[in-house]
Structure 1
Amino acid sequence: MKIWTSCTLGSILALSLLAPSASYVKANTIQEVAAKETASLYPVLTKAKKPEEVGFSSEKLERVDGLIEKEVAAGFPGAALIVIKDGKIVKNESYGYKRKFNEHTPLKRFQKMENDTLFDLASNTKMYATNFALQKLVSEGKLDIQAKVQQYIPEFKDTKADVIKGKDTLRVIDVLHHTAGFKPDPQYHNPHVSKELYSQERDKTIEFISKTPLTYVPGTQNVYSDVDYMLLGAIVEKITGQQLDAYVENELYKPLKLKNTMFNPLQKGFKPKDAAATELLGNTRDGVIDFPNIRTYTLQGEVHDEKAFYSMGGVSGHAGLFSTTKDLAALLQVMLNGGGYGKHTLFDQETVDEFIAPSDMNPTYGLGWRRNGDASMEWMFGPYASDRAYGHTGWTGTVTIIDPEIDLGIVLLTNKKHSPLVNPVANSNQFFGDLFKTGSYGSVVTAIYEALETNE
């Protein structure tokens, strides 16, 4: 989509003064250019006067509120929700509390969730930071996803000691499809797990990514791995010459005037109370886990993810981004618009189509994006989403759904990990907040689709 600028119109006006008799500078031609200039702008979000304006039932949307509020009353910490359709904000609500505890002690006064509360996006960082950066670089011809990783990171290569080889021929597209051969979580931050790859220094960690051994032959399995996106973030930094946070904040978010989307918010003018809290006792899982420099206080405004915080200085391709529902809604609209918003083009429709297309191996995977490719994704997309719907989730309790078939976008952000563990010894990853429907997404997403009058 071409964006006409005022200088284009100005040039034609100037030509008309120099050669007023020229047929191609008649007044109607100037009007045509002005019309094109206006028509070429990408849609920007506006607020719907009422849900019925874009095909929703107000009464049925209130049932979504009831679902979440009932769970908050039963102990679910909090959530924020925004729904957009046809370029309109249909719903923008917050529920419950951004913080209820100081470690295990309940606060005398809970901190109320607000529409502008910052959330730790966890793995949604992969999409709205790393993927957006990659899509921009592909659109600009600066990145070839069919190229070998080695083309961008020369030190990424097989060694004689590698039991499983494949790095020398591994392509960027293989990493995007999560078929690169890496294990899900090498825990660079924890020497008990990472051994010789232990690192709590960002530069060293990036160096160690290339040395991380493959655990299966690339291209033979789909294994969702944080290492894939740590590597992709490093590729963005190699191409741009900038740290990932600087690049995405200046080249993606700033042009769109998104002031609440960033890495390391506490280093950029925000305070802990601006964010939704996560784990009660740092990264200890209620005291079960330990490693050097582990945080033991309630996390609020600091990225929860251990690799991102300890090993990557809070800035990584797989986690670390904070945002609000309204900012994320604009980024969803960018995807629905085919790559732009207002007067700004971030990437093109061709690139969007390439990144959301299903992989040959698994229809639930696009390039990074998760797709509603088969029944196995109903837990996230519900039963009503079209087979073109795509999105992503984050471990802290975040989900985004984009359904281009009906021009719909949903962002549900929760702080479900801001709760005690159910049984720390038996399962150090199951929090009380994980037990609720709101924290497993599908019920809320389903209720939103059911509120569409076309689903009555």
Structure 2
Amino acid sequence: MFIRCATRTLLALYTTSLLVYAPLFAEPKIAHALPLNSTLAAGQNPALFPEPEPTSRVLARSRQTFKGYRGRGSLIIENAGATSADIYVNGYQVKAKTALGQPDGCATIDIGEYTVDGINTLKVLNVTPASAHVNVRIPYPELIWGEPTKVGFSAEKLAKVDSLINKEIAEGFPGAVLLIAKNGQIVKQKAYGYQQKYDGDRLLPNPPPMTVDTLFDLASNTKMFAVNLALQKLVSEGRVQIDDPVAKYISDFRGDGREAITLRQVITHSAGFAPEVHFFDPKQKEKGLYSRDQAVTRALLPKIPLAYRPGEKTVYSDTDYIILGFVIEAVSGHSLDSYVETEIYQPLGLNHILYNPIAKGFRPDRFAATERLGNSRDGRVNFPGIRRHTLKGEVHDEKAFYSLGGVSGHAGLFSQAYDLAVLGQTLLNGGGYGSYRLCNFATLQQFTKPSDQDLHYGLGWDKNNIWEFGPYASEQTIGHTGWTGTVTLIDPKHDLVVILLTNKIHAPVSAEDRDRFTTAKFETGKYGSIMALIYEAFLENPPER
């Protein structure tokens, strides 16, 4: 079907792009692209053909690459005066005669018969007449549902994951949801165990089962899927520079050398801060760091003492990401939850990843329960206003709940597994999904390459952690964990996303350690063993010889 559209603006954009052109990906093989803020700039590497300023190397003109999957994909042509053009995908000529049948219009062409898994080539040659141009857009791949065996998994070996988790559920682990996506296909999504086993310290006689739609408190996965994604977007748009001082964005972040602390140091947990400040604890009053209000907590940022010289070492710190949350608010002019929900999640159609979900209309029975008796560690911890009821849909983290109104850069985000898988695929795609672009590829590379200081981190993203990702994850793998029992894994080399969400702290507290739960002994909540079984299910399943 050929659809007319307002592409007369394409000629104006072409003229303008001669002055403001900037490549969307910082790689030489990408053709000239439309400006980033163009309404036509949705999808992968949108480009005008012929290029406004073609290279003198004839065989390097009018060519680029895109990510795709075999048997899938579409190509959108927006025509400005062309009567003919030769369009090739992977060397096969695309049937584009209908799309070029009118000199001013647009059309979508199915290119599934030409595409392959991974990198695909695109050429647009011989556009006539000479004064004409076409804009070509290829949407980013989207997740579809598939069969494990079709993407290289051994069904028998993959079943070992179910056996391990179900065995541990029978032995007392509360519950989990596992989602596996490979080669752009969701090949496993399964729920195990129970959303809630306890009401307080009372074991429920008929506990509600876990479902694949259950929402989980992501804890520190918030750092990546809220703050890091937001920063990747803002950096890609040129609104933030990661080597700028924090004080450029938070003007009162000064004193004791804070003026020199950069965003990069904060993102990489090398800014000088201790792991956390218990703002909510009245004992902080004597230090001038007590707060039960988000605005008050924000005002305390310049008073948080430095524990070591910035840049000297890496110390994982919630404080770092609390600061970054406020940076995002300062730059965007919106609250952190409003910004990520309206600028990232909702444009992707993701309505089950958000902050403060109960206040936004979700029922408590949609959530996996976390701690049995609030933040009291089975009655061993006490402070004024402490929660003592079983937590469902309320952020567990004390700093986020009591001192930051449930919205923080370090914790507070809730999600179901599917929404996280879409965000994972967005990163596998190089920064976009469907017609939505989160960031350009150069920014994504900047955030995910290993830190010079600590190879276990990228810019915030975890890397090279065997206990978290297992022994088989590639060196390109990124992800994160959350204290409530969540782990995410994104492996570009194997085109793999694994989301494992558990409620492992919905259990009695250990007699020996008030911050250790009786479920700490289970492999499901240690993550690496589950990941190892998933990798073995396809790495040890070679094609028949």
TM-score in same-fold range (> 0.5):
yes
| Equivalent pair of 1:79/1:414 in contact (CA under 8 Å) | yes
2:270 aligns to what?
179
2:390 aligns to what?
298
1:189-228 to 2 correspondences below 5 Å: 189-193=280-284, 195-228=287-320
Instruction: Give the secondary-structure state (helix, strand or coil) at the position aligned to 2:204.
Output: strand
How far apart in 1 are the matches of 2:363 and 2:194? Answer: 16
Match of 2:353 among 232, 237, 261: 261
1:392 aligns to what?
480
User: In structure 2, do the counterparts of structure 1 residues 87 and 157 end up closer, same or farther at CA, with 3 Å as the change threshold?
Assistant: same
1:422 aligns to what?
510
Match of 2:170 among 73, 76, 90: 73
CA positional deviation for 1:210: 2.3
How far apart in 1 are the matches of 2:150 and 2:395? Answer: 38
Letter in 1 for 2:371: E
2:238 corresponds to 1:152: no
Give the alignment's Cα RMSD to 1 decimal: 2.4
2:185 corresponds to 1:88: yes
Instruction: Name whichever of 187-196 and 280-289 sits farther off.
Output: 187-196
Letter in 2 for 1:378: I
Stretches of structure 2 that go unaligned for 5 or more consecutive residues are: 1-23, 25-32, 34-39, 49-75, 88-95, 110-121, 123-134
How far apart in 2 are the matches of 1:259 and 1:85? Answer: 23
| Equivalent pair of 2:293/2:405 in contact (CA under 8 Å) | yes
How far apart in 1 are the matches of 2:163 and 2:490? Answer: 23
Instruction: Give the secondary-structure state (helix, strand or coil) at the position aligned to 1:214.
Output: coil
2:529 aligns to what?
443
User: In structure 2, do the counterparts of structure 1 residues 327 and 38 end up closer, same or farther at CA, with 3 Å as the change threshold?
Assistant: farther
| Equivalent pair of 1:339/1:348 in contact (CA under 8 Å) | yes
| Equivalent pair of 2:371/2:396 in contact (CA under 8 Å) | yes
CA positional deviation for 1:399: 0.3
CA positional deviation for 1:30: 3.0
User: In structure 2, do the counterparts of structure 1 residues 388 and 296 end up closer, same or farther at CA, with 3 Å as the change threshold?
Assistant: same
Instruction: Give the secondary-structure state (helix, strand or coil) at the position aligned to 1:108.
Output: coil
TM-score by length of 2: 0.77
| Equivalent pair of 1:55/1:454 in contact (CA under 8 Å) | no
CA positional deviation for 1:216: 0.3
How far apart in 2 are the matches of 1:269 and 1:398? Answer: 23
| Equivalent pair of 2:84/2:100 in contact (CA under 8 Å) | no
CA positional deviation for 1:283: 0.3
Show CA shifts across 1:154-199 (max 9, x none). 10011xxxxxx33111100010110000010111111224641010
Stretches of structure 1 that go unaligned for 5 or more consecutive residues are: 159-164
Length, aligned pairs only: 438
Instruction: Name whichever of 31-40 and 76-85 sits farther off.
Output: 31-40
Instruction: Give the secondary-structure state (helix, strand or coil) at the position aligned to 1:67.
Output: helix
| Equivalent pair of 2:77/2:99 in contact (CA under 8 Å) | no
How far apart in 2 are the matches of 1:70 and 1:23? Answer: 58
1:161 aligns to what?
none
2:499 corresponds to 1:411: yes
Instruction: Give the secondary-structure state (helix, strand or coil) at the position aligned to 2:220.
Output: helix
How far apart in 2 are the matches of 1:391 and 1:22? Answer: 43
How far apart in 2 are the matches of 1:147 and 1:66? Answer: 49
| Higher share in helix | 1
Letter in 2 for 1:451: A
CA positional deviation for 1:292: 1.9
Letter in 1 for 2:360: K
Instruction: Give the secondary-structure state (helix, strand or coil) at the position aligned to 1:322.
Output: strand
Show CA shifts across 1:108-129 (max 9, x none). 2101000000000000000000
How far apart in 2 are the matches of 1:38 and 1:438? Answer: 46
Letter in 2 for 1:12: N
2:446 aligns to what?
354
1:310 aligns to what?
402
How far apart in 2 are the matches of 1:451 and 1:346? Answer: 32
Match of 1:335 among 409, 417, 427: 427
CA positional deviation for 1:39: 5.9
2:139 corresponds to 1:41: yes
CA positional deviation for 1:103: 0.4
CA positional deviation for 1:233: 0.4
How far apart in 2 are the matches of 1:222 and 1:241? Answer: 30
2:140 corresponds to 1:140: no
| Equivalent pair of 1:181/1:219 in contact (CA under 8 Å) | yes
How far apart in 1 are the matches of 2:84 and 2:289? Answer: 74
1:12 aligns to what?
79
Letter in 1 for 2:537: A
How far apart in 2 are the matches of 1:275 and 1:131? Answer: 24
2:225 corresponds to 1:128: yes
| Percent of matched pairs sharing the same residue | 49
| Equivalent pair of 1:4/1:40 in contact (CA under 8 Å) | no
Letter in 1 for 2:454: N
User: In structure 2, do the counterparts of structure 1 residues 84 and 422 end up closer, same or farther at CA, with 3 Å as the change threshold?
Assistant: same
How far apart in 2 are the matches of 1:27 and 1:385? Answer: 45
Instruction: Give the secondary-structure state (helix, strand or coil) at the position aligned to 1:138.
Output: helix
CA positional deviation for 1:433: 1.7
Match of 2:196 among 85, 96, 99: 99
How far apart in 1 are the matches of 2:330 and 2:409? Answer: 13
Match of 2:156 among 48, 59, 66: 59
Letter in 2 for 1:73: A
1:151-170 to 2 correspondences below 5 Å: 151-158=248-255, 165-170=256-261
User: In structure 2, do the counterparts of structure 1 residues 202 and 74 end up closer, same or farther at CA, with 3 Å as the change threshold?
Assistant: same
CA positional deviation for 1:442: 0.6
* Greater gyration radius: 2
How far apart in 1 are the matches of 2:85 and 2:145? Answer: 45
Show CA shifts across 1:129-155 (max 9, x none). 010000000000000001010100110
How far apart in 2 are the matches of 1:181 and 1:222? Answer: 8
CA positional deviation for 1:215: 0.5
Instruction: Give the secondary-structure state (helix, strand or coil) at the position aligned to 2:516.
Output: strand
Instruction: Give the secondary-structure state (helix, strand or coil) at the position aligned to 1:112.
Output: coil
User: In structure 2, do the counterparts of structure 1 residues 38 and 105 end up closer, same or farther at CA, with 3 Å as the change threshold?
Assistant: farther
User: In structure 2, do the counterparts of structure 1 residues 432 and 22 end up closer, same or farther at CA, with 3 Å as the change threshold?
Assistant: closer
Instruction: Give the secondary-structure state (helix, strand or coil) at the position aligned to 1:401.
Output: strand
